[in-house]
Amino acid sequence: MDWRTGGYGALLLPAPLAVAGRLVALAVQPAFWQAAGMSLGRIFAGFALGAVLGTAAAVATAALAPADWVLTPAVKVVRAVPVASFIVLVLLWSPTTGLVPAIVSALMVLPVLWGNVGKGIAQTDGKLLELTRAYRFGRGKTLRLIYVPSVLPYFASGCATALGLAWKAGVAAEVLCLPRLAIGTRLYRAKITMETPDLFAWTVTVVVLSFVLERAMGALFRRMGGEKA
Amino acid sequence: MIAVQDITVRFGEKTVLERFSLQIPHAGLTALSGPSGCGKTTLLRVLAGLQVPQSGKVHVPPRPAILFQEDRLLPWRTVEQHIADVLPRQRRGEVKRWLELVELEGEARSEPGCLSGGMGRRLALARTLAWGGDLLLLDEPFTGVDAPRAARILARIRALGVPVLLSSHEQAVVELCDRVIPLDGPPLAVKAR
């Protein structure tokens, strides 16, 4: 008997083989893929919404002084509010529990993309912008030829950072609001039924999905960065 | 006639041009000469409408094209895309012509990072020419370009029939122009060749 864990070693820290065995056992069940797919869908939808809103807020604050006065303090408040407060508040206001992880993920992503895209816009080369004025490029052409390629590396870096945050916050939200099909719900159930190998197996699933999503996004941005019209 | 009357340009405490006047015919090649800091670039920027003088009047054609002192190339666009970007859709077929004019036709698919300094300069020049202004304002157009090639390209620019005002430190380039305007101090002299 291990005196340090009072004989509950496997319960507190299961052997890797036990976790792998549970992962395989879970992976053959359709419910596993449904839960993983729904979590992936929710959190990615929240990530996409946050990315769009964060980028739009950054463009608005760069382009319009009144938008800057309103949005800058608002986004700073969003950035400072703890994720647990957001989860509880959104759970209180949201009509369905399934929406909560998506909204919480979006709120985590928004300030990161706002900061990064705003920095990218601010650091766009002024000499290239003067060139577009000299050659009388329209707004669309200036956006396509100068702003988008200049801001893309900042956007990509923001997405890489925000994706991890979205996953962590999204799964945490699922643990608290327990949607019917969700990784977070399965994590919570594994915890209350003391099925520690399941807890680890679901954690491994979250890590693998996060890694896959991050690699897919990296490949997409590399392709966009190398694209020649 | 291209003219500036009594223009003054200051950057903070520093006065670059003070009550400066100039008239040049709307034809041929005109060179601005003078040491660094005498106001050549500032004058070209005023004529291009990119620098507003604190006082004075400027008379230029409505569509002046400027070649900046720096290449200002876009690292994410190829050589041919740089030219196509300034051409209207119906003139996209002219890309090859402008690359041939500056002897860059073999580099159409290259990226700016792969070009030498002189090649980058010629690409920036081709982009300015392709844009098709009614006055060409060229700031040091042949930096890094060998003299025989610069002479060939300048002859082709002359054949376009568009008035050119250029600044250059290279004596060989200045000597190929129709007139030279020294900016190295009053009184302003115009030397007709």
The verdict on domain A37-223 having CATH code 3.40.710.10 is no
Q: Round to whole Å and give the CA distance between B29 and B98.
A: 19
Q: Average pLDDT for residues A68-83, to the nearest whole number?
A: 87
CA-wise closest residue to A99 among A138, A61, A42: A42
* pLDDT score recorded for residue B190: 47
* pLDDT score recorded for residue A8: 65
Mean pLDDT of chain B: 91
Is the pLDDT at A3 greater than 80? The verdict is no
| Kind of pairing between the strands at B191-192 and B29-33 | unpaired
* pLDDT score recorded for residue B186: 45
User: DSSP secondary structure string, B135-174?
Assistant: EEEEESTTTT--HHHHHHHHHHHHHTT--EEEE-S-HHHH
Angle at A14 between CA A13 and CA A18, to 5 degrees: 165
Asked whether A104 and A88 are in contact (CB, 8 A), the reply is no
Two tokens, residue B162: 């568009």
Instruction: Give the pLDDT band (50/70/90) at residue A227.
Output: very low
- Distance from the Cα of B72 to chain A's closest Cα (Å) equals 6
* pLDDT score recorded for residue A19: 85
| pTM summary value | 0.84
Q: Round to whole Å and give the CA distance between A138 and B154.
A: 31
- Distance from the Cα of B154 to chain A's closest Cα (Å) equals 22
* pLDDT score recorded for residue A93: 87
| Chain centroid, CA A52 distance in Å | 12
Q: Round to whole Å and give the CA distance between A45 and A76.
A: 23
Q: Average pLDDT for residues B157-180, to the nearest whole number?
A: 92
Instruction: Give the pLDDT band (50/70/90) at residue A5.
Output: low
If you measure CA to CA, which chain B residue comes closest to A130?
B50
A145 and B77: CB-CB below 8 Å?
Answer: yes
Is B20 touching A (CB cutoff 8 A)?
A: no
- Distance from the Cα of A61 to chain B's closest Cα (Å) equals 26
Is the pLDDT at B193 greater than 70? The verdict is no
Is the pLDDT at A115 greater than 70? The verdict is yes
For chain A, give every domain's residue range: 37-223
pLDDT tens sequence across B69-126: 999 999 999 999 999 999 999 998 999 999 999 999 999 999 999 999 999 999 999 9
Percent of chain A with pLDDT over 70: 93
The SS3 call for residue A195 is coil
Instruction: Give the pLDDT band (50/70/90) at residue A228.
Output: very low
Q: Average pLDDT for residues A144-165, to the nearest whole number?
A: 93
Is A223 touching B (CB cutoff 8 A)?
A: no
Instruction: Give the pLDDT band (50/70/90) at residue B187.
Output: very low
Q: Residue B2's beta-bridge partner residues?
A: B24
> Which residues on chain B are in Cβ contact (under 8 Å) with A134?
48, 50, 65-66, 68
Is the pLDDT at A22 greater than 90? The verdict is no
Instruction: Give the pLDDT band (50/70/90) at residue A190.
Output: confident
B68 and A145: CB-CB below 8 Å?
Answer: no
Q: Average pLDDT for residues B117-137, to the nearest whole number?
A: 96
A131 and B68: CB-CB below 8 Å?
Answer: yes
Find residues 82-141 of chain A whose CB sits inside 8 Å of chain B.
Answer: 127-128, 130-131, 133-135, 141
Is the pLDDT at A192 greater than 90? The verdict is no
Q: Average pLDDT for residues A46-75, to the nearest whole number?
A: 91
pLDDT tens sequence across B42-52: 999 999 999 99
